[in-house]
Copies of this chain bind each other. A is one copy, B any other.
Amino acid sequence: MGAEGQQSGQWADVTPDAARRLVIAAVEAFAERGYHATTTRDIAGRAGMSPAALYIHYKTKEELLYRISSVGHRLALDILRRARDSGGSPADRLSEAVRCFVRWHAEHHTTARVVQYELGALGEEHYAEIVALRRDTDAAVRTIVEDGVASGDFGTPDVPGTTLAVLSLCIDVARWFNAEGKRTPDEVGELYADLALRMVGYAKKQEEAARPFPGLIH
């Protein structure tokens, strides 16, 4: 329920149709109650199927969680890598990374909650695979921060610590964001992009805003 029907776009490459309906149902249920409190009967029911139908498309309930976690992590990683490689100044790239990453966590906060907070329920092998993706996520942001420090645009005494803090701040959006609240995903993304720049010690904002044609100056 709610206005999150567009979410099915995220799962476009999950086929056949019944398997996709099950994923969407599972995301809703896991996000609401948590993995362990969700029953396979509940998932199947939300997808309009009998409990047994789940096992035609997925071997276990854990595999369903793994599919969600895997797709979600790859999506999030893509967002950050695109920003990292977008070729502006470090400030532009960090701003873009945080804005998009936060917007995704707010817009798809049900998916993001499962992705970020239900890792512990994965089996050992699946867990290891997801942890590797998370290290890549961290590396993407750290690269931007390092670039900014090297160019002198940023000033922070602890690059890994500040990177961790920026990512942590973004991830936690999935925990508190409420679709019925007054903030839109775009607003939160904008606010957080600004906060992230402050955190890394970037202070040239006003200066840049005052320049009439930023692109033409060199």
Contact = CB atoms under 8 A, between A and B. Distances in A.
Interface of A: 33-34, 36-37, 117, 120-121, 157-158, 161-162, 164-165, 168-169, 171-173, 175-176, 183, 188, 191-192, 194-195, 198-199, 201, 203
Given A36-B34, A121-B37, A183 B161 contact: yes
Q: Considering residues A36, A171, A192, A201, which has the most beta carbons from chain B within 10 angstroms of its beta carbon?
A: A36
A192 B157 CA distance: 12
A172 to B, nearest CB: 4
Given A161-B183, A161-B191, A198-B201, 8 more contacts: A33-B120, A117-B175, A158-B191, A168-B176, A169-B169, A195-B199, A198-B198, A198-B199
13 contacts: A33-B120, A34-B120, A37-B121, A117-B117, A162-B195, A165-B169, A165-B191, A168-B172, A168-B176, A171-B175, A198-B198, A198-B201, A203-B203
How many copies of this protein are present in the complex?
A: 2
Contact of A172 (B36, B37, B169): B169
Most buried by B among A172, A199, A201: A172
Contacts of A168: 169, 172-173, 175-176
A114 to B, nearest CB: 13
Contact of A165 (B34, B117, B195): B195
Nearest to A38: B36
User: Which of A37, A192, A198 is packed against the most chain B CB atoms within 10 Å?
Assistant: A198
A168 B105 CA distance: 14
B165 A192 contact: yes
A199 B198 CA distance: 6
A208 to B, nearest CB: 16
Contacts of A173: 168
A129 to B, nearest CB: 19
Contacts of A157: 194
A176 B195 contact: no
Contacts of A117: 117, 175
A121 to B, nearest CB: 7
Nearest to A119: B175
